[in-house]
Structure 1
Amino acid sequence: MSNELLFLIGFLIFIVAILVLDLGIFTKKKASVSLKQAGLMSVFMVLLALGFYILLTYYGHLIHGIDSMERLQEIVKRHHHPIKIVPGNLEYSIMLYDKNLGLEFLTGYVVEYALSVDNIFVMLLIFSGFGVAPSNYHRVLFWGIFGAIAMRFIFIFIGAALIQKFDWIMYIFGAFLVYTGIKMFIERNKHEKIDPQHHPVVKFAQKHFKVHNQFVGNHFFTVVDGVKKMTPLFLVLIIIELTDLIFAVDSIPAIFSVTKDPYIVFFSNIFAIIGLRSMFFLLAGIVNKFRFLKVGLAALLAFIGLKMIFHHYLDDIGFGTSHSLIVIISILVISIGASLLFPAKKPQHI
């Protein structure tokens, strides 16, 4: 069994354990998640990600079983890592590789975590539109995470295989992200609404499956007159999964701009996803106060898209992972800071 497969299996077992811990300890069953619980869980998830960053910074070479100069050169070339190997000095070259790998993970994590905030806007619309009780938010988000992990795994490794075979796909991804960033900026003030009765998922489910017309506590299915039926809560779960699928189309190419190593893309993606549930409860009540956040996210997507389009030129001038991280964090800090310094004016009632 290869090092990559062993590391991946161990990582997935670790993630499942964290999610079980989340379900069993940090959230009481059938109770709403408090701001304190969400804050503690958010800090815990961020610390886990930082711990993983430190692990990669010192032992990242173990993922691909790098134990020789030839193996190191092969991996650096395959995944286009922006480091210069020092001939004859394997130990120092591995140190450079590990340091860069840790930065790639951290940068990808920050990108995915930031883009997840936009996902929170949509989730709030879905929950409010369908009239989901706050006490059921956790159940939907928890099981939604499992589906998101499976989808991201498939997307990422297929995407990595395509990029390795067809390098020009990077330009398509880049152009798409620039377009998405411009579109997000133009539509930043657009107020979307969810119409449960005419939602495509609801109409499809009602046509092909048996659907109950009302919520039954926190159950996804119920039995009525001996017939098993979906509840509206299960339909909300499906819509949340489809929403994540749509967001993955933006976020996964964005992380490929940071690293071509599918394992690092997957690890950074998953750490951000498992932190999304706690971040949802932490930001749900205040996310609308960040009036310039969508502008920042639009700029972030445009920057990442341009970086993918001009990646050869940027490599030539020495624009590395650390520079990308600085630009990304600066965009986020400026957009959040501007939102706090210049809050939206409250309408005056005459």
Structure 2
Amino acid sequence: MSHEALFMIGFIVFIILMLAIDLGLFSKSDKPVSLKVAAIMSAIWVAFALLFALLLYYWGNELHNVHDLARLKEIVAKHFHNININENDLAASIQLYNKTLTIEYLTGYVVEYALSVDNIFVMVLLFSSFGIPEKYYHKVLVWGILGAIIMRCIFIFVGAALITKFGWILYVFGAFLVYTGFNMYINRNKEEEVDPENHPVVKFASKHFKVTHKLDQGRFFHIEDGVKYMTPLFLVLLVIEFTDLIFAVDSIPAIFSITKDPFIVFFSNIFAILGLRSMFFLLINIIHKFHYLKVGLAFLLIFIGLKMLLHHWLADWGFTTAHSLFVILGILALSIVASLVFPKKKEFENS
């Protein structure tokens, strides 16, 4: 069995175990997740993500079984890592490779985590529009994350295959991200609305399956006279999965601007998704205060898109992944600080 397969199996087993514990501990109680619990779970997921970064820093070469110069050159060329290999010092070159993997992973993690905030805006809107009580949010989000992991896995490895076969597709991704960023900026103040009855996913489900408005104590399906009906809880789960599919079209190309290694893309993407559920409960009551965050995310997408379009020139100028990380953190920090220093006039007047 290959080293990549062992890494993936171990990683997936860990995810399944953690989600099983998560689902078992919290979903049975059907109680709203408190701010304290959300903060603790957020800290735990961030800690796991950072521990994985340490794993890559010290043993990242084990991912692709890099133990000799020939293998190192092969993997660096295959995944377009911008590093200078010292042929006279294998240990130093492997250490540099591990450091590069770690920075790529952390940068991808920050990008995906930041873009996930936009998901939270939409999720809050969806739960409100479908009339889902807060005590059922956790159950929907955990199952939603399971579906998101499966979809992201498919997207990532298909994307990697496309990039390997058609190098020009990076320019397509870059142009798309720049367009998405400008579009997000232009529509930053537009109020988003969801019409549950006319949403395409709901219309499709209503056409092909039986649907009820009964919540049935938080169940996904309601059985009446031997007939199974979809409840609003399952409908909102379907809509969330559909929404995540749309968001993946932005976020996955964005991470491919950081690294072309599909395994690093997968690890950073999944750790960010796993932290999304606890971050949702942490930010649900204060997210409206970060009104400049959408502006920050718009500039983030534009920057990443331009980086993909200009990657050859940037490499020649010595622009590294570490520089990208600093720019990304700067954009996010500036948008958060601006939101706190310059609150919305309505909030300011009411305070």
Q: Is residue 182–residue 298 contact of structure 2 (8 Å, CA) maintained in 1?
A: yes
Corresponding residue for residue 133 of structure 1: 133
Cα distance in 2, alignment partners of residues 215 and 114 from structure 1: 32
Cα distance in 2, alignment partners of residues 36 and 27 from structure 1: 17
Q: Is residue 45–residue 271 contact of structure 1 (8 Å, CA) maintained in 2?
A: yes
Residue identity in the other structure for 2:292: F
Q: Is residue 27–residue 37 contact of structure 1 (8 Å, CA) maintained in 2?
A: no
Corresponding residue for residue 339 of structure 1: 339
Q: CA deviation at 1:25?
A: 3.5
Cα distance in 1, alignment partners of residues 26 and 222 from structure 2: 27
Q: Is residue 160–residue 262 contact of structure 2 (8 Å, CA) maintained in 1?
A: yes
Q: CA deviation at 1:94?
A: 0.2
TM-score (ref. length: structure 1) = 0.98
Please give the per-residue CA displacement for 1:220-267, whole angstroms capped at 9, x wherever unaligned.
Answer: 011111111111110110000000000000000000000000000000
Q: CA deviation at 1:213?
A: 2.6
- Tell me the matched-pair count: 349
Q: Is residue 108–residue 258 contact of structure 1 (8 Å, CA) maintained in 2?
A: yes
Q: CA deviation at 1:116?
A: 0.2
Cα distance in 2, alignment partners of residues 290 and 228 from structure 1: 42
1:115-264 matches, within 5 Å, as 115-264=115-264
Cα distance in 1, alignment partners of residues 346 and 223 from structure 2: 48
Q: Percent identity?
A: 63
Q: Is residue 27–residue 139 contact of structure 2 (8 Å, CA) maintained in 1?
A: no
Cα distance in 1, alignment partners of residues 262 and 316 from structure 2: 23
TM-score (ref. length: structure 2) = 0.98
Cα distance in 2, alignment partners of residues 138 and 112 from structure 1: 21
Shift in alpha-carbon separation, 1:8–1:36, aligned structure 2, 3 A: same
Residue identity in the other structure for 1:108: G
Corresponding residue for residue 100 of structure 1: 100
Q: CA deviation at 1:17?
A: 1.3
Corresponding residue for residue 307 of structure 2: 307
Please give the per-residue CA displacement for 1:73-124, whole angstroms capped at 9, x wherever unaligned.
Answer: 0000000011100012111100000001000000000000000000100001
Q: CA deviation at 1:26?
A: 5.7
| Secondary structure of the corresponding residue to residue 346 of structure 1 | helix
Corresponding residue for residue 86 of structure 1: 86
Q: What do you get for the CA RMSD once the two structures are aligned? A: 1.1
Corresponding residue for residue 33 of structure 1: 33
Residue identity in the other structure for 1:214: K
Q: Is residue 144–residue 241 contact of structure 2 (8 Å, CA) maintained in 1?
A: yes
Cα distance in 1, alignment partners of residues 57 and 201 from structure 2: 44
Q: CA deviation at 1:27?
A: 6.0
Please give the per-residue CA displacement for 1:7-66, whole angstroms capped at 9, x wherever unaligned.
Answer: 101100011112122223466621110000000000110011011111101110000011
1:310-325 matches, within 5 Å, as 310-325=310-325
Cα distance in 2, alignment partners of residues 323 and 63 from structure 1: 25
Residues 255-264 or 225-234, more deviating: 225-234
Q: Is residue 112–residue 255 contact of structure 2 (8 Å, CA) maintained in 1?
A: yes
Cα distance in 2, alignment partners of residues 329 and 60 from structure 1: 24
| Secondary structure of the corresponding residue to residue 343 of structure 2 | coil
**Residue 28 of structure 2 is aligned to residue 43 of structure 1:** no
Q: Is residue 212–residue 230 contact of structure 1 (8 Å, CA) maintained in 2?
A: yes
Residue identity in the other structure for 1:35: L
Q: Is residue 214–residue 222 contact of structure 2 (8 Å, CA) maintained in 1?
A: no
Q: Is residue 26–residue 41 contact of structure 1 (8 Å, CA) maintained in 2?
A: no
Cα distance in 1, alignment partners of residues 28 and 279 from structure 2: 17
**Residue 71 of structure 2 is aligned to residue 55 of structure 1:** no
Q: CA deviation at 1:346?
A: 2.1
Q: Is residue 177–residue 301 contact of structure 2 (8 Å, CA) maintained in 1?
A: yes
